[in-house]
Structure 1
């Protein structure tokens, strides 16, 4: 047999073995995804939520999951196809698309972590339909959605400021932030605001004014800054969000009155 033919056959065999290995080691993630979408198709949201990682479940109740699936037409799931599979230790990723009952195709990316020997869904990302930039980071939400994020975060913050305890506020922020700071540490960080004696609840009646265009940086962090039109001094803010599970969650908050 020609030497080059032997080499060619050898290369083909190596490639085939490599592909087979990828499919073998990622089969657990595919099984989890299939089980998740099977539950979604049956409208069994409680069962579908059972395939989520603990961090994902901690910030996503059944209603939030159902709303996300409904908005993205994923509730009409028919079948999934994975064009790219990656695995690194106890983390993995499936990238592909799902087809709906009406024939629509939805690009989707799912990230996984291994918990107690089982693959669990860590996040689900569906790109926003329409015009997008070429950035590989998740696209910034629409301005109206950014305003909604700011208002909700501020409402949760005010609840804790008025109660002089950051426990409620901490329960609403990203898992990443929760892991970085305890309730006691947040109490200390915002102690001055809690003891200022100001009527922070007035902010709930005002519309925040965003400063310029908010973008997602290279680390996947959405930075939204602006102010509340209070008098005689404005309440300026900077809020940082990270995409966790199926939603943007607060990662940092700075407030200044000037």
Structure 2
């Protein structure tokens, strides 16, 4: 009798697993096709595997920047472990094997269309490196002394630089500085036409170097200065070899955020 019960339980779980695998097979097909497309740099095709909500909130340029900075453009294969779905929502987790032998943990969320096909709703890549648990907001308030001239933290400054350099790198790769120019301040866009921006950075386009690799490095801030006219000027470099990548970036506040107003790049 116990043997029959055990067999029945095993059979039940086998059916459940089979149903989950069947229910999520469309998700794996979708994300595998998406990753194959980005590895071939066929971003128009990759865009077809994304949901409407995804494409409305993420431009093609932003997608390219994410793919390159996360290493997904080096996709070789994928193995998917945890899977779940409920109604028209689904989620899978797995590991992406890259062409250079790396492994990238990835979580992908999906939404189901009326025709039964799955589209990617969100892509989440775990942050690598050492991570420190954030303090609670209450502790932050208690530990932060009031100041009339608040200063951006090193992490904020580095994030600002990395964002600008990534916009620069993606634009140079495309040989079109629109992505960088569109992210800049209104004063920059008024003073620098797209034609002028393309001409100004033409020498970097001619190098045919993928500068998006800098997004995997940390910028070194050599100096930062707040000018009397409100500009924030950051001087720094990346420890690239054989030559270092130097930058001088000027920002100005617009609508409460720092926006690019001038950028000088030098490799020496």
Scaled by the length of structure 1, what TM-score is found? 0.54
Aligned counterpart for 1:114 among listed residues 99, 103, 112: 112
1:17 aligns with 2:15: yes
Structure 1 runs not aligned, ≥5 long: 136-141, 160-201, 208-228, 239-258
Aligned counterpart for 2:88 among listed residues 87, 90, 107: 90
> What's the secondary structure of 2:79's corresponding residue?
strand
| Structure 1 residues 86 and 41: CA distance shift in structure 2, 3 A | same
Distance in 2, matches of 1:133 and 1:112, equals: 30
Aligned to 2:55: 57
| Structure 1 residues 149 and 122: CA distance shift in structure 2, 3 A | farther
RMSD: 3.5
Aligned to 1:39: 37
| Structure 1 residues 123 and 145: CA distance shift in structure 2, 3 A | farther
- C-alpha displacement at 1:8, in angstroms? 1.0
Distance in 1, matches of 2:7 and 2:133, equals: 39
Distance in 2, matches of 1:114 and 1:145, equals: 38
Specify which structure has the bigger relative contact order, considering alpha-carbon pairs within 8 angstroms and separated by 6 or more residues.
1
1:125 aligns with 2:124: yes
Distance in 2, matches of 1:236 and 1:75, equals: 34
Match runs of 1:173-252 below 5 Å: 205-206=231-232
Distance in 2, matches of 1:103 and 1:150, equals: 27
Aligned to 1:246: none
> What's the secondary structure of 2:126's corresponding residue?
coil
1:143 aligns with 2:145: no
Structure 2 runs not aligned, ≥5 long: 135-154, 165-181, 187-228, 234-251, 258-268
Aligned to 2:189: none
Distance in 1, matches of 2:131 and 2:93, equals: 18
- C-alpha displacement at 1:10, in angstroms? 0.9
Scaled by the length of structure 2, what TM-score is found? 0.52
Aligned to 1:70: 68
CA deviations 1:99-137 (Å, max 9, x no partner) are: 0011110000000011333211011111111013579xx
> What's the secondary structure of 1:103's corresponding residue?
coil
Give the total of aligned pairs.
Answer: 163
